[in-house]
Amino acid sequence: SDPDLEAEMLRRMMVRFGTDNERAKTQLASAKVEPQARLSRGVEGGLLELNDQFDRAWRRVGLALDRIGFTVEDRDRSKGLYFVRYIDPNADVKTTEEKGWLSRLKFWGSSTRVPSKEQYRILVQGDGKGAEVRVLDKDGARERSETANRILTLLFDQLK
C-alpha cells in the first residue's frame, strides 16, 4: 500500500463529496499517520514489529513475501513459520576482477557463478498488542547475518 496515493485518493473523494479543496488538504495534513511497522536491529539480530494481530500479520507477511519474489516452499501457520528460499545478490559471487590471472585464462568455464539459494524461516509471532517478525536459519536458530537484515528491510519496505 502506498500512503501518499491513498491520501490523494481520499482528498479527491472529499472534494467530490463537497469539501473545499484547501480544507481537504489541511485535514489530511493534520491527520496523524501511525506507522504500521517498525524495524529494529539488536545484538541478537533484527526484529520487525507490526501493529497487527497475528491473523492479519500472517496474511500481510505472506503477501509481502509474494510481492518481493521470495520462493515460499512451505508454511506452518500453527507455528507461525514461512519456509522461504532467498537468493542474495551480494553473496559469494566473484567477478573476473576478483579472480587471479590464472583463473582468467580458463576461457571454457563460466565467467560468473550463480549464487546459491539459501533457505530461511520467517517467524511471525503475535502477542496481545501486535506481532513480531524474525528471520531464522534453516535449523530454526536466530539468523544474525547481513542477509537476514536485508530480508527484514525488504519486508519492512512492503509492510510500513
List the grid coordinates of 53: 494481530
State the pLDDT at residue 50. 94
Q: How far apart are the first and last CA of the chain?
A: 8
In sequence order, which residues have a C-beta less than 8 Å from that of residue 109 and are 6 or more positions away? Answer: none
Provide the domain limits for residue 47. 35-159
State the pLDDT at residue 104. 63
Amino acid at 133: V
State the pLDDT at residue 4. 76
State the pLDDT at residue 20. 92
State the pLDDT at residue 94. 46
Question: Is residue 22 domain-shared with residue 79, that is, in the same domain?
Answer: no
Question: Is residue 95 domain-shared with residue 133, that is, in the same domain?
Answer: yes
Q: pTM to 2 decimals?
A: 0.69
Question: Is residue 29 domain-shared with residue 42, that is, in the same domain?
Answer: no
Low-confidence ranges of the chain (pLDDT < 50): 94-96
Overall domain count for the chain: 2
pLDDT in tens, 22-51: 998 888 888 766 788 899 887 778 899 999
Question: Is residue 74 domain-shared with residue 85, that is, in the same domain?
Answer: yes
Q: What CATH number does residue 92 fall under?
A: 3.30.310.170
